[in-house]
Each structure stands twice: as C-alpha cells, then as structure tokens.
Amino acid sequence: MRMETIRIEGIAAPVSRIGLGTWAIGGSMWGGSDDASSVATIRQAMDSGINLIDTAPAYGFGHSEEIVGKALLGIRDQAVIATKVALEWPGGKVRRNATAARIRVEIEDSLRRLRTDRIDLYQVHWPDPLVRHEETALELEKLRRQGKILAIGVSNYAPAEMEKFRRFAPLATVQSPYNLFERGIEQNVLPHARTTGATVLAYGALCRGLLSGRMHADTAFGGDDLRKFDPKFQQPRLRHYLAAVQALDRFARERHGKTVLALAVRWILDQGPTIALWGARRPEQLQGIDAALGWKLRATDLEQIDALLAQHITDPVGPEFMAPPARPLTLEQQ
Ligand code: NAP
C-alpha cells in the first residue's frame, strides 16, 4: 500500500503520515530494549515507506538518538529526522530547560549522536515556564538560518504559547498526545493547527500499546516501564479501557475488515493535518502499517466509535502523568 504523505514547510521531501516513534528504543522508562532489534525496527520502518523518525535526547539519555544515527547509516538522506530539545537530566532526573545556552549545547550533541549535519525537524520538547518564548524561538531561528535545522516545531504547547512563540520564529509543527483515548487537543491545539497550517504530530498513537489489541488484564511490565504507573493501566480503569479496545476491534472487523490497531491509526489520519507517531521497538510490531492506509472512516463510523468509547470508558484519564517538572526557581526568580 502506498504511504500517505504531508508537506512540512522547510522540508523538501514529502513526509510520511505515519512516523516511527523511538522512545522505547531508548530503553529507559520502557523496561529496557534490545539494540539489534531497535536498529532492525528502524530499517523495517524505512522499508515500509515511513521516512519520519521521531526521537529525542531524553529517550534513554541519548541512546535513542544514537540508535537512530546507527540505523540510518547510508540511508540518512531518505529519512526525515525529527528530534527534540529543551530537557535536561541532572542526576538522571528529567526536567525542562529551554534556555538559549542549553539549546546551543544540545544541538551539537544531537548532531553528533545522529551522525548528521542537519536535523530536519527540531522540536521544543516541553514549554519551559522559566524562559521567555522569545529566547527559545530566536535561538532556534538562528539554527534554522545556519542550516543546522530545517524546520522548527514545538511539543506539549497550548495555542496561546504557540502564538507567543510564532512572533519570533516560524512554527511548522506541534507534537501532542492524541489517540482514540486521549482527545484533549480537539478542544484547542487541533483547531488552532487547522487555522495556522501547522502539522500535528500525534504521539502515543496506540496509547502506549493499549490500542494494539494485544494487551490483557494480566499483561506484565518489567523494570522501569512507565505503564507500571500510567493511570490507564491500573484497575479498575484498565478493565474499562480493555473493554473499549475489544468493542472497537469488533466494530473495525465487522465494518471494515480491519483490526483495532489499523482503526486507531486510521482514525488519527482522518482527523486533519496529522501524522500518527507509532512507537515500536521490534520489526514485527510494524506489520500492520498497510492495513491503516488507503481507506477512510465515514462520519457515521466516527459517531459509532464515540458512542462505544462513551459506553465503556466511564472514568477517563489523560496522559498528564508524563509531564516533566520545571527547574526549581532561583532566589531572584521567587
Ligand atoms: P505508542 O505508540 O502509543 O505505543 C508504543 C508501544 O505500543 C510499543 O512500544 C509497543 O509496546 C506497543 N506496540 C506497538 N506496536 C505494536 C503491535 N503491532 N503489537 C503490539 N504492541 C505494539 O506510544 P509511544 O511510543 O509513547 O508514542 C509514540 C511516539 O511518540 C514515541 O515513541 C515518541 O517518539 C513520541 N512521544 C512524544 C512525547 C512528547 O512529549 N513529545 C511523549 C510520548 C511519546 P511493547 O514494545 O512494550 O510491546
């Protein structure tokens, strides 16, 4: 099946509307990962028509970027690399830092780890309440003018923050949590993107695996896997979410001959100027790509999906647990 693509201002190549998410490939917060399998997954994504690879320095404290750089050796020009900036991790504790000084250090680290001379899409990972948008945006714009980055994006920003940022630098994309179970951006970011022309990179497309259709009430997570404390994965909520997955799977099979996984990805693609970021760390996890492409959900499908969600999920909870803290205020700032 032919990959669907979208244009991102500043990036010459059409960008695949399914992007590979490489957070789990970094290992930490996902109970560890196997590097050979990670490299094979990135190669498999590229062979399947995905050219957008989304990573971040914070994913495994540089490890995810290193694996992306390794996997793209020899095929880097065919890829659209999206990475991020503005988190730091003193003592292994991740927190926000969007100062110009931090950006100047991080860009060189990321270019080295990714084994490239340019980053296609450079995204501010989380807004930093201690730094003016002007400072962050102007520093990124400097990098864009130098050719070290081709396009600027933000992540986890509200429209009001994006408006402030846009006064100082062009904003091509916004990356936000978005999937069948996490729909907060429909109230603000998505309509804002539709009017400003920004592309929305929807993260957690499978709701951390829930929407793969392969999870059960007794699926166990090892080591530091974040799903051990993700509120959706705790009972009794988990039971409700799994019941919704089952109902959606039945609906997808009966109505379209698809699985819930294909439905979940298709649903994101049908919501507007979106890219679905699909996290995977084993090549076989990407087998369902084709099934998500080349068809569309009808208005009546969308209504029935919403009805199924309302029927099963009576106590919804969002992805807020993932937000990293800001740095502590200095005495002068208090
Ligand atoms: P996701 O895409 O919703 O879920 C990924 C997980 O789902 C995989 O690690 C895998 O879990 C499971 N999975 C994937 N395909 C599967 C299949 N075919 N069958 C069974 N299980 C499958 O979650 P995500 O990785 O958190 O989100 C996607 C990407 O968005 C990230 O990798 C990252 O690039 C980005 N992201 C960005 C932010 C941000 O703040 N900007 C935050 C979160 C994520 P197992 O490997 O454990 O089986």
Percent of the chain exceeding pLDDT 70 equals 99
Give per-residue pLDDT as tens, 39-71: 999 999 999 999 999 999 999 999 999 999 999
**CATH number of the domain residue 199 falls in:** 3.20.20.100
Residue whose Cα lies nearest atom 34 of ligand 1: it is 21
The answer on pLDDT for 93 being more than 80 is yes
Closest CA to 232 of 174, 179, 302, 175: 179
Ligand 1 midpoint to CA 172 (Å):
23
Q: 3-class DSSP state for residue 29?
A: coil
331 inside domain:
no
Tell me which residue range forms the domain holding 153: 5-322
What's the pTM value of the predicted model, to 2 decimals?
0.98
Whole-number pLDDT of residue 183? 98
Closest ligand 1 atom to Cα of 30? 47
Q: Is 157 in the pocket of ligand 1 (CB under 6 A)?
A: no
Mean pLDDT of 18-33: 96
244-275: pLDDT as tens digits: 999 999 999 999 999 999 999 999 999 999 99
Measured CA to CA, the distance from residue 31 to residue 225 in angstroms comes to: 4
Question: Is 330's pLDDT higher than 70?
Answer: no
- Which residues, in sequence order, are CB contacts of 229 under 8 Å at separation 6+? 321
Amino acid identity for residue 233 in this structure: F
CA 209 to ligand 1: nearest atom? 7
Q: Note whether residue 332 is domain-resident.
A: no
Q: Is residue 250 part of a domain?
A: yes
Annotated catalytic residues are: 59
Nearest alpha carbon, ligand 1 atom 29: 21
Length of the chain, in residues: 334
Mean pLDDT of the chain: 97
Is residue 332's pLDDT more than 90?
Answer: no
Residue 81, pLDDT > 80, answer yes
Mean per-residue pLDDT for 216-231? 94
pLDDT of residue 74: 98
Q: Looking at ligand 1, which atom is closest to the CA of residue 176? A: 41
Residue 126: DSSP 8-state: S
Pocket mutation for ligand 1, best pick of 67, 81, 212 (most atoms within 8 Å of C-beta):
212
Count of domains forming the chain: 1
Q: Answer yes or no: is 330 within a domain.
A: no
Average pLDDT over residues 304-314: 97
Residue 311 has pLDDT above 90, yes or no: yes
Sorted by sequence, the CB contacts under 8 Å of residue 64 that are 6+ apart come out as 22, 23, 25, 26, 27, 55, 56
Mean pLDDT of 154-169: 98
Q: Is the CB of 288 under 6 A from ligand 1?
A: yes
Structure tokens of 170? Answer: 């062009």
Q: Is residue 239 part of a domain?
A: yes
Tell me the pLDDT band of 331, cut-offs 50, 70 and 90: low
Q: Determine, yes or no, domain membership for 108.
A: yes
pLDDT band at 329 (very low <50, low <70, confident <90, very high): confident
Residue 328 is assigned to a structural domain of this protein: no
Confidence of residue 1 (pLDDT cuts 50, 70, 90): confident
280 in ligand 1 pocket by Cβ < 6 Å?
Answer: yes
- Which amino acid makes up residue 123? Q
Closest residue (by CA) to atom 37 of ligand 1?
203
pLDDT confidence bin for 13, thresholds 50/70/90: very high
Which residues have CB under 8 Å from 21's CB, separation 6+? 54, 203, 205, 277, 278, 279, 280
267 lines ligand 1 (CB under 6 A): no
Our answer on whether the CB atom of 182 is closer than 6 Å to any ligand 1 atom is no
Ligand 1 binding pocket includes 54 (Cβ within 6 Å):
yes
Residue 33 lies in a domain: yes
